[in-house]
Amino acid sequence: MSKIRGYLIVIQFSITVAITIVLMYLFRNHQHAIRKVWMKLEIKLLGIKFEQQGELDMSCDMVIMNHQSLLDIVVIEYLHERNLAWVAKKEIADLFFFGHIIKAPKMISIDREDKTGIVTLLKETKDRLSKGRPIAIFPEGTRSNGKRISKFKFGAKMVADRHKLRVQPIVLVNTRKILDSKTLVAAPGTVKVIYLDPIVASKKEDWLHETEEKMREILKNELANDA
């Protein structure tokens, strides 16, 4: 049943993504509101409940999270009140038609094979920040298996240090169990969202590595408690 549910979710997700893209182009001044309605619908259709620990600080300029499922984006978009600018790999933006889910709301796509990628990242993040949009980024760079947090890449630190950002780390637990976007297995469930204390980025401190270790330990303890 979980496999069948997974395929049905992919079908409905594809349909709602297409509708959302069209609406965002038709009503450009209301793109964030359109995304919020879409996320509320997804949360309801997926049967997701929440357990939250700590407090989401809306004053932060950047949020960083562990990445294990497509559901991670849905969860953060649903919970966060501001118009986030997500950093995504160029391959997603290059997808036929569906890549406009990145292009329409002016998210940030980066070519990781391009040596000038970091320059583009710094330029694009500066632009979005100037428009009052916090940066949302997965420091791991790609999805993990949900059982551990992979080593962080330095893009998040370079952006945060350059722009002197206030960063909030977030640990997501159980999103892969609810929706495994690789095997297409899905089931209703509760997502635990753990908000860590914000950090003011500084080139003089190894804050990203320390945060990585803290997030890794938190996820490890959460999974152990659920075992």
pLDDT of residue 33: 98
Geometric angle at alpha carbon 111, from 213 and 201, rounded to 5° = 35
Total count of domains within the chain: 1
The segments of the chain whose pLDDT lies below 70 read 227
Report the CATH number at residue 130.
3.40.1130
Query: Has this prediction a pTM greater than 0.85?
Result: yes
The pLDDT tens digits for 25-69 are 999 999 999 999 999 999 999 999 999 999 999 999 999 999 999
pLDDT of residue 172: 97
Geometric angle at alpha carbon 219, from 140 and 142, rounded to 5° = 20
- Helix, strand, or coil (residue 204): coil
pLDDT of residue 113: 76
For residues 223 and 147, the answer to whether their CB atoms sit within 8 Å is yes
Domain that holds residue 143: 2-226
Q: What is the DSSP letter of 151?
A: P
Between CA 207 and CA 202 the distance in angstroms is 8
pLDDT of residue 227: 64
Angle between helices 31-46 and 2-26 (to 10 degrees): 170
In terms of DSSP bridges, do strands 85-89 and 108-110 run parallel, antiparallel, or are they unpaired?
parallel
